[in-house]
Amino acid sequence: MPELPEVETVLRTLEHMIKGRRIEHVDVRYAKTVEDDPAVFAKRLAGEHFNGFERRGKYLIFRMDTLTLVSHLRMEGRYYVQKPSDPINRHMHVIFDLDDGSQLRYHDTRKFGRMFLCDKDYDFSHFNNLGPEPFDEAFSQEYIHAYRKGRSGPLKSLLLDQHFVAGIGNIYADEILSACGLRPGRSCRRITKKDEENIVLETRRILTEAIAAGGTTIRTYTSSLGVTGLFQNECCVHSQKVCRRCGSDIHMKFIGGRSSYYCPHCQK
């Protein structure tokens, strides 16, 4: 599943490619992709321009003239900007005809991705009870200390909790905990103030580096917009056989149903 850096990469690439473009027509080829009547969805978007590009957690937010289009890629969602003459395959579920003659195509093999419309100035601060963005001042040592109070679950599950912090997924949770020297199965109750400070610092550092690298291309996910993520070359533990820091064998265990990679030598 694309995580914050991948979604940010898609957003920035789309901003470069389609900012200011007007939607001439929308063809919804798989009705469940849009959380509205497909005909109403298409009619409301006709004539709208792609003006503003934002991200909230793993959601892409497109500010239009009179409304806002929101897209969640889920497991396999991706965008293509192509010519009308390019082949359309059966996994392209929403096609936007743009005023420059190009098409923005939403492709989703698993059909889990969703789009919906909301007000032009909709405030996403507390959208879906998402936690603060990793780069927000609200995500601090004090915040982590208060949030984990009374909790005893594993640290890995805490980082994956979108109500705790928005946008972190499996890959980056492993890398953050590796950088902090903490095992993914360690209890939230058993960390120090210094650990909390390190989680904030390493989360921001790793996500910043991942965004700069264009995200992580692992298994089937790429941005599909001419951008290939390179951060997988920097992963210390996730999907690795040996630790890039000390050379020890990487261990893997399932935590909350998710594969979790760690170095038993570097992580307490």
Catalytic site positions? 2-3, 58, 258
CA dihedral sign, ordered 87, 92, 96, 100: negative
3-state DSSP assignment of residue 180:
helix
Query: How, if at all, do strands 92-98 and 59-63 pair?
Result: unpaired
Q: Which residues pair with 179 in a beta bridge?
A: none
And the tokens for 202?
Answer: 């390493």
Query: How, if at all, do strands 59-63 and 52-56 pair?
Result: antiparallel
Give, in degrees to the nearest 5, the angle at Cα 132 between 128 and 134: 130
Q: How many CA atoms lie within 13 A of 68 on its CB side?
A: 17
CB of 250 closer than 8 Å to CB of 263: yes
